[in-house]
Each structure stands twice: as C-alpha cells, then as structure tokens.
Amino acid sequence: MLLRSGSGSAGLQACHAATAALKGCATGTPAIRRTEMKTTLLTLTLGLVTAVATAQQTAKPVETLPPVSYVCPMTGDEDVIEDKAGRCRKCGMELKPIRLDSVWTCPVHAAVIKDKPGACPIDGRELVQVTMSVSWTCANTNIESVDPGKCADGSPMVKKFSPRAHGNHNPQHGGLFFMAPDNWHHLEGTYRDGGVFRMYLYDDFTRPLARDQVRLMTGRIITKAGVSIPLVPVQNGRYLEAKIGKLPFPAEMAAKLKFKSTSPENHFDFTFPEFSREPVAPVTTTAAAAPKQPPSPQSTTSVASSANPPTSGAASPPPAATMSPGAVDPGLIPLPIPDNVPEMLAQLSQRSEQIRRFIDQGQFASVYVPAFQAKDLALALDERKNDLRPEHLKIAAPAIKRLVRSAWLLDAFGDLGNKQQISDAYTQFVAAVKEVESVFPAK
C-alpha cells in the first residue's frame, strides 16, 4: 500500500477531488466502506502525484501516466512499494520499476476490465476497483515496457494490464478482509444475521481456495466472553462456519486458524458494528413494477482484484459518534504536507489520534492512511532537523526513524488483523511522536 502527498495548487485540487470521491463510498456497511476508501485513496494519491508532475511540465503529454514505483520481485514481498530505486528492505533483492494503476472489474468475473465504474456485463453487479500493473508490449514478442512507445514495425505498443498479488484486499461477501502472516493466504470473516460466523479463504490474488485446501484447515472462534466455538467446513468445503449466536454490537471476536495440521495457529481480530450483508446484483424492474430503490453510494467506488474541504491546518476531527452517516472521516482524507514545522506537528498529532480511534473501533484496514500520512510528515521534519540545537538533533534523528518504522508496522499489522500487534506498534509510534514533538518548535 502506497500513500504519497502532493503540494501546491495541484495537490490541493487533488485533495478536494479525494473528498468528493470519498463521499461516494461513505455509506454502506463499514467493512465495505473501509476497503472502498482504501483503494479509492490509493487511486487518488497516485493521481495526485501525476497531477503535480504534469503541472510542472511545459509540454502536454499525450497520455497521463501513473507514476513509476519500485516493487520487490520476490514472491511474498509484493507489499514492498517504494518511491525510488534500491533494494528490497525485506529480502535485499533489487527493486524493479512498475506503474500501478486502478481499473474496474467484475467482483467474480476478473476477465472484465473497464476504466470507469458501472455494472458488470456478465452478472449485473457493480464493478469494483482493483490495483493492477500497467505496461506496454508488442504482439508476438517478449517486450514489456513501463513506458508507451512504438514497435519495430512502427505500430504503437499495446497497453496491457496485469493482475498483481495483493492488488485486491476487497471483501467479496460483505465482511472483513485480512491477509495472513505468510503473505499468501487471505481470509474474509462475516457475521450473519442469526449469529453465524463464516470464514472464506483466498490466495494472494483473492481467488477462492480449492475445497481440498479448505478442508485441511482447523480453527475456532473465541467470543469476547471467552467462549470457544469450532470452525467447521460447510457446503462441501466452500467456507468454514461457527454458530456463535447473537452478540451485542459492536460484536467482537477472534479467530484462531491453522492452514494445515503442521502450521502455526494464526490470530485474527474481528469487530462487527452490524450484521454482514452479501452483495447482490441489482434487480431489473419494469415500468409497472414498484419503483426501484436508488443504488447505494457505496457502489460507485467499490474495490476488488482482477485475475485474480481539506486544508494544511490540523483541525481536530469530530468524534466518530457525532459524525453524520454520509460524512467522510477526516482520517481518510489525504492532506498536503505543510510548509512549516508547527503545522507539521499539528497534523502529526491529529494523525496519531486518528490512528488510535481506528484501532479502538476495530477499523484495522483504515489505519494505514493516517499512519502513512504521519510517515510523510516525519520525513518532512527530517529535512528540518539540521536547524535544531545539537542536543535536540541527537534525539530527533533516531526518533524520526522509529516513527517511520512504526508507521510501516501499523500498515502491515492492519492488513493482518491482529489487534495486539497493532496496539504494540501504536505504542512505539506514540513514543516516537512524543520525542519528535519534544525537540521541534511548536510555534
């Protein structure tokens, strides 16, 4: 997951665009909202960087391209995405250039690729947004380029979209979606009306696992009261299920899961503010039939995989309980980095509070947005640290490094859905923020 900040008028315009787009996914079930916002933010922030770069060029490009990112080629390390060339911080392999873009596809028919939202031509469900790599190639060759160009015969290169591992962390059944610590297995937990917990299993391209793989898994659900209920395969192994009964909302529970008998037991925390609802295709009505209800705004910015008014200030966000149903959470709006230290510190404090609120509410998939904003603020402060007194510089440099590292940890643990790991990373994050605030001037 990648979050970049823009600056200047182009950056502010992009942030206003982000606000407008996020309003389209600010209703519906919280599980879908979080994923919609996450991929919408990825698309918008990638577009923000492109807008700034375009504004700085004198010649208008033929095509607006997403920026070049650098990713790790090692299987399992696809989550490493950097802004510049170098070596993978996980395995040490040399990063490779790639352009990441967002396209629209059918939730369960990945062959369909569109450049805008709409209805799936196969089953009528709303298209969902996914992250894919985009490149250009020539027919009957192995040529693949991150830039458009011409082939040997003078014809233009053909644009190509390729599925990407972890390009889809979108719930397929209206639940909460997490990635397992092995970076390959993915799972979705749903809490159905009637008190039934269902767990769906996927691979790294969000393709449902084969039934023989699901049958190898064992697990249990532990309620907040400490009651343990086994997860058992149902419907010939399509998913795992536990009948836990009706719980008061927000319904908190943990899943303990082994992918096979020799595997370690993985822990995932779930918090359901309401019962999960399965997405359904719209029903076509005739003029004589009852009028169709307008589609939910959530459908305009859904998110899934293929082949597999902001300001530079730091106004405190309203408490979650007082936000109107259609309001956009300020913690999910990318802001430009301020040009002075006091405002940077004010934004850093705001983002820290937003992270805490997301953790308290169980919105682990949303933590990465304010965490990465805080990371960008820390890097901006790092450029100002040489203005500090020597005794303060000794504190600032390591504190900024710890803040950046803990932001990455919050991102990673948010995907894994382990509340204890997220809370531990947040403790490190808060300690680093306090040290940074202690040495930089607030006025």
Q: Which domains does the chain have, with CATH numbers?
A: 8-162 (no CATH), 176-272 (2.60.40), 338-439 (1.20.120.290)
Residue 22 has pLDDT above 70, yes or no: no
Instruction: Provide the residue count of the chain.
Output: 443
What was the pLDDT predicted at 316? 39
What was the pLDDT predicted at 42? 53
The whole model's pTM is what? 0.65
Residues contacting 421, CB < 8 A, separation 6+:
409, 413
Residues contacting 410, CB < 8 A, separation 6+:
355, 367, 368, 371, 422, 425, 426, 429
Q: Could you identify the residue written with the tokens 């992270």? A: 355
Q: Which residues pair with 241 in a beta bridge?
A: 198, 232
In three-state form (DSSP H/G/I as H, E/B as E, the rest C), the secondary structure along the chain is: CCCCCCCHHHHHHHHHHHHHHHHCCCCCCHHHHHHHHHHHHHHHHHHHHHHHHHHCCCCCCCCCCCCEEEECCCCCCCCCEECCCCECCCCCCECEEEEEEEEEECCCCCCCCECCCCECCCCCCECEEEEEEEEEECCCCCCEECCCCECCCCCECEEEEECCCCCCCCCCCCCEEEECCCCCCEEEEEEECCCEEEEEEECCCCCECCHHHHHCCEEEEEECCCCEEEEEEEHHHCEEEEECCCCCCCEEEEEEEECCCCCCCEEEEEEECCCCCCCCCCCCCCCCCCCCCCCCHHHHHCECCCCCCCCCCCCCCCCHHHCCCCCCCHHHCCCCCCCCHHHHHHHHHHHHHHHHHHHHCCCHHHCHHHHHHHHHHHHHHHCCHHHCCHHHHHHHHHHHHHHHHHHHHHHHHHHHCCHHHHHHHHHHHHHHHHHHHHHCCCC
Task: Of 107-111, 252-256, 370-374, give the lowest mean pLDDT range.
Answer: 107-111
Residue 309 has pLDDT above 50, yes or no: no
Q: Residue 63 — very low, low, confident or very high, per pLDDT cuts 50/70/90? A: low
Q: Residue 21 — very low, low, confident or very high, per pLDDT cuts 50/70/90? A: very low
Handedness of CA 37, 42, 48, 54 (dihedral sign): negative
For the chain, report the end-to-end CA distance as a whole number of angstroms.
Answer: 33
CA geometry: angle at 91 spanning 134 and 1, to 5°? 45
Q: Residue 125 — very low, low, confident or very high, per pLDDT cuts 50/70/90? A: confident
Query: What angle do helix axes 368-382 and 30-55 make, rounded to 10 degrees?
Result: 30
Asked if 130 and 102 touch (Cβ cutoff 8 Å), the reply is: yes
Average pLDDT, stretch 158-182?
Answer: 89
Phi, then psi, of 242 in degrees rounded to 5: -140, 130
What was the pLDDT predicted at 179? 93
Query: What angle do helix axes 419-439 and 341-360 make, rounded to 10 degrees?
Result: 160
Average pLDDT, stretch 141-155?
Answer: 93
CA geometry: angle at 267 spanning 262 and 269, to 5°? 155
Residue 59 has pLDDT above 50, yes or no: no
CA 155 to chain centre: 37
What was the pLDDT predicted at 288? 37
Q: Which residues pair with 159 in a beta bridge?
A: 136
Residue 77 has pLDDT above 70, yes or no: yes
CA distance 96 to 86: 9
Q: Which residues pair with 197 in a beta bridge?
A: 191, 242
Q: Residue 436 — very low, low, confident or very high, per pLDDT cuts 50/70/90? A: very high
